[in-house]
A and B are shown apart, each in its own frame.
Chain A
Amino acid sequence: MSKAIPELKQYDEAELDRVFAELEAEVAAQSSELTSDEAMESFRLEWLGRKQGRLGQLSAAWLKSAPAEAKKSLGVRFNRLKAQIEEARTASVVTEMKATGVSLDVSLPGAAQRMGAEHPLVKTMAEIVSVFQRMGYSVGLGPEVETDFYNFEALNFPPNHPARDTQDTLVVAGQDAKPLRERLLMRTHTSPVQIRSMLEQAPPLRLVIPGKVHRNDAADATHSPVFHQVEGLCVDTNITFSDLKGTLDHAMKAFFGSAVKTRFFPSFFPFTEPSADVQISCIFCGGKGCRKCKHSGWIELLGCGMVDPAVFASVNQRRVEMGREPVYDTGKISGFAFGMGVDRIAMMKYGISDIGLLYSGDMRFLEQFA
């Protein structure tokens, strides 16, 4: 295997070019024949073997006897030759794999990666909240067990008022001995957070309030005793009804797309005046009329209105009881509030036919949202 080491007579450039050209030609010739493991190994041993390898022997012999001024030039040439040998080895490995490897059935499914799914309600709620955060709203949260004061009284639902009938309430046991305003119940809407926030902060105020709410409703395909709302509150000097309209129109376009139109209808909520229901042009048919919008071209989406002065009055009164300034002066301060059902929006957006699925923990349903 080992070949004789030719003696180098001269170390000028021309001589070096000549002998290295020969060596490179030899490597090139062998490279084309590296088709088996054996050939590869003998090629490696011949050139790179630790003891017998020609590269090591040549460099040892020549560098030793070379004059100092030629050593650098010689070194460069050896490096180039070594690179050529390495390249030949690498290239042949690739060639060999191409030749002998079994091709893959790329149509087989990829190895399964289990991804957790985002809950459609959590996702929808986060998207709505994010629209308002981008409009300068801070997030507000509050407890799910509330007192009658925050859930009703402060929101202008007087005791025994018929408006309370519309919100069948789940109450905590053992409250009869307490004064009405202190009785505990499951909040029927996220609106109590509006009151809590106004008690803590002076205007200006911009809040978006997501949360879970409860009503004593029999469960069916569109009703659940547990559901979710997002509310908003904006209070400052000179907040107007046209600001409410503009804000919600903008928010609906941000959420559903810029082609969506809004329209407002008079409605009634005890804690807002004027009150409105808002419809958006049907997101499925663009307003032409389809099954989803019951051929009306419109979908009812949220309730809203200007904060009723009675609400500000409650807040002021309570602030005074708490030793705070009654800063919600209805002569200067005004505001608007709005609220929407997250479940309904998620059901509409994702084509969910039964609200109960949202609370079932059914993997077959939930994994569709991964």
Chain B
Amino acid sequence: MNILTKWLRSYLPELAVDDRQLAEDLTLRGIAVEGEFDAACGGRLYEMDITTNRVDAMNHYGVAREAAAIYDVALKPLREGIGAAVAETKPGAGFPVRIEATDLCGRFTARVIRGVSVGPSAGLIAEYFAALGQKQISAPVDVTNFGWLAMGQPTHVFDLDKIAGGIVVRRARAGERLQLLDGTEKTLVADDLVIADEVKALGLAGVMGGWESRVTEETKNILVEAAWFDPAAIRASSRRHGLHTDASHRFERGADFEAAPLANHLVTRMVVEQSGGEVVGPLVDVVVSEWAAKTAQRKAISLKVSEVERHLGATADGLGIGEAVVAQYLSALGCGLTQSSEGEYAVKLPSWRLDLEREIDLIEEVARVYGYNRFADTLPSFAGAVRELPHALQEATIRETLRGMGCTEAISSTFTSAEEAEVFGGSAVAMGNPLSAEAGMLRPSLAPGMATMLAHNLHRDVNSVRLFEMGTVFEGSTAEVKERVGLALGATGGAVATALYKSEDALFYETKGAIEALLRKFEGEVGFDANALPGWIAVGRGARVLLGGETVGVFGELSSAELQARKLRQPCVIATIDAQRLFETKLRQPMSREVSRFQAVERDFSFVFPDAVTWAAIEGALRGGSAELKMEELRSVRPVEIFRDAKGRSGDQTGKQRTPTGNAGAAGSYSLLLRVVFQSNERTLTEEEITRWTEWVVAQLTGLGGTQRA
């Protein structure tokens, strides 16, 4: 909405400040001037940004009222100025008006003007409209727009000769059709309020006038309407028919109940000024008393001056907000104050401020006009305890650990498509008004979002990616949605082959290592299980993640179907972990162990095993220990090098120093270089002991089906 300062000042004859200062002072009081320009009619044009609760101020008189309160200057009363009563120039009966829907229409005023000759508007209207960029249509219509811009009351002019009998304000008949001013034809429902004559609907009340009864150049006689409608009814109609108009904007937020007759006078007088004609008969003003009681005649509310201070606190000047200041501001805003007892007032609320209902609303008005920045900056005292989130440490540990291992945190969409929800979650909760088909479901897992992010990078030639995301995942149904915090890791490219892992397998083991390092921060044994994997993981290339024997996640390479669906050509590993479960798990408390003073002895074993013998079986056989070799003395067992048949696969590692040769890597078997470390905390190990243990290790490995290599 735009305001012309020239127009504004016509209501404030005493206003001394310049336009720049006025703009700043209004802005600081919530009547925000967003932009300022020179106006063609002289003065400035303000682009206003006024909060939706202040519809009363979205017009020139409304802004003038604010300025009057701020500067404590006189405001020309509407009743004696632009809204002054217009006497009839030709006697006649009042135009027949009947409000049938008294629950939806609170007031209806009507006035007849006969003998107009409709042409373009001139004078002040033309000058102001040009400055505002407001389109001129015809003088009577421009006058209604002038009234709207002047005082924020929507009005309407009918071609009187198109009205059969009198005005009836009623609910529409179901299926009743009405062509509106914008040319569209609407089919009405019984909850729509219409302005009708004895025969037909003439206009959609509070929203838009009708086509048939509009004022045209041929119009000779005019009926001027200004009314007050139930906000909820207008809002419902406006939404139902997709029509958001100036009129509906005002009515649905509450128009000024007392403004209808004033606006009718304004329009009547100016139509005659612009288009000639006679004002026939009195102003008809039908008032529904129940509505009057709820609006203009609202009961006064009580205001205690002590409450003003309790809510607002100290002022920067140290004086506080005194009783006199409270009374002055509220009076200037149109409130009627009557002192009811010491420090307490009965406040009669202005008809144009339906947003004011309670004491706190008045306190806000006092603060606003006083100026927010004139209050002191104080800090409250506090006696309560500060509570840390129970999982704060776990959450921070997850983030730090993953970042330390080179994973970058990402955030993806909360939503996923029905197809992806099916693949990655099995079931999911649907959205009622999804942003798009791809965002139709609440994500049941972070995996699809991670796959999307990996694809995003790969499609942009970023070929080495390490990401993680921690965020909410959803399960349940549309009846009840359950939320958990999930964690996902995503990796592609950049993994380095080692003596143990070929390049095509290295990414999997890197991710496994990251998961192990992460979970070792928590209490409970970390384990993996290759059974019962979801379909999005490539067969044989994933595992469930166990903590303390419970499944807490799953990870593996994306299946070729999922890679193809995203047009991806390199392997991607994704892990999903139940972060909520980690939040509820204690962080492992590190315990120091004595460091041995005695030398550790390393022994390497080179064996060929059938493929069926897994590392878990080998480690298990040795970790089981024996009567003579205590667990404490078997310090570590780890694979140092693995060599598999290179036929048809990459990863030939010959040439490395310790690579076994000979029959290594025959089909169906692999060779393994195993390193065992013996050490005691109590003594130096003897050659004899080591020999015995070494023989035991060989026996164990042979027992598993391994063949020791020379």
Contact = CB atoms under 8 A, between A and B. Distances in A.
Asked if A pairs with B, the answer is yes
Interface stretch (B158-166, B406-414, B559-567): B406-414
Contacts of A267: 30, 51
Given A133-B386, A162-B253, A266-B29, A184 B481 contact: yes
B429 A172 contact: yes
Contact of A116 (B54, B377, B386, B406): B406
A362 B29 contact: no
B360 A273 contact: yes
A48 B312 CA distance: 90
Contacts of A306: 311, 360
Contacts of B54: 268
B313 A241 contact: yes
A93 interface: no
Contact of A212 (B314, B414, B450): B414
Given A363-B465, A363-B467, A266 B435 contact: no
A171 B414 CA distance: 13
Interface string B393-411: 0000001001111111111
Contacts of A115: 403-404, 406
A338 B279 CA distance: 55
Nearest to A335: B380
Given A115-B403, A362-B456, A276 B53 contact: no
Given A117-B409, A226-B414, A242 B384 contact: no
Nearest to B469: A361
Contacts of A88: none
B363 A243 contact: no
A259 interface: no
Nearest to A245: B377
B483 A366 contact: no
B392 interface: yes
Contacts of B517: none
B649 interface: no
B405 A116 contact: yes
Contact of A243 (B313, B385, B429): B313
A225 B413 CA distance: 9
B481 A246 contact: no
Interface centre among B53, B253, B384 (most CB of A within 10 A): B384
Contacts of A114: 406, 466
Interface in A84-140: 114-119, 121-122, 133, 136-139
A358 B411 contact: yes
A359 B367 contact: no
A118 B377 contact: no
B379 interface: yes
Given A115-B403, A138-B386, A364 B481 contact: no
Interface residues on A, range: 35 or more
A122 B408 CA distance: 12
A32 interface: no
Contacts of B468: 116
A175 B478 contact: yes
B55 to A, nearest CB: 10
> Which of A186, A242, A264, A309 has the most chain B CB atoms closer than 10 A to its own CB?
A242
Contacts of B442: 145, 172
Nearest to A309: B360
Question: Which DSSP category, helix, strand, loop or mixed, fits chain B's interface?
Answer: mixed
B409 A116 contact: yes
B430 interface: yes
A54 interface: no
Given A163-B52, A242-B376, A144 B472 contact: yes
A245 B372 contact: yes
A194 B542 CA distance: 43
B364 interface: yes
A225 B433 CA distance: 12
A40 interface: no
A117 B409 CA distance: 6
B199 interface: no
Contact of B404 (A116, A186, A266, A268): A116
Given A143-B483, A173-B478, A241-B375, A121 B411 contact: yes
B330 to A, nearest CB: 14
Interface string B546-583: 00000000000000000000000000000000000000
A238 B315 CA distance: 15
Contacts of A249: 377
A170 B452 contact: no
A239 B379 CA distance: 9
Contact of B408 (A166, A239, A265, A367): A367
Contacts of A212: 414, 471-472
Contacts of A119: 408-411
Interface string B95-129: 00000000000000000000000000000000000
Nearest to B379: A246
A175 B51 CA distance: 31
B462 A364 contact: yes
Interface of A: 114-119, 121-122, 133, 136-139, 141, 143-145, 160, 162-163, 166, 170-175, 184, 186, 204-206, 212, 214, 216, 225-226, 234, 236, 238-243, 245-247, 249-250, 263-268, 273-276, 306, 308-309, 334, 358-364, 366-367, 370
23 contacts: A114-B466, A116-B406, A119-B408, A138-B387, A145-B442, A145-B474, A170-B431, A171-B432, A172-B431, A173-B432, A174-B430, A204-B384, A242-B315, A242-B375, A245-B372, A245-B375, A245-B377, A250-B377, A265-B28, A266-B29, A363-B467, A366-B408, A366-B410
Given A144-B414, A267-B51, 5 more contacts: A138-B387, A245-B372, A263-B372, A361-B410, A362-B456
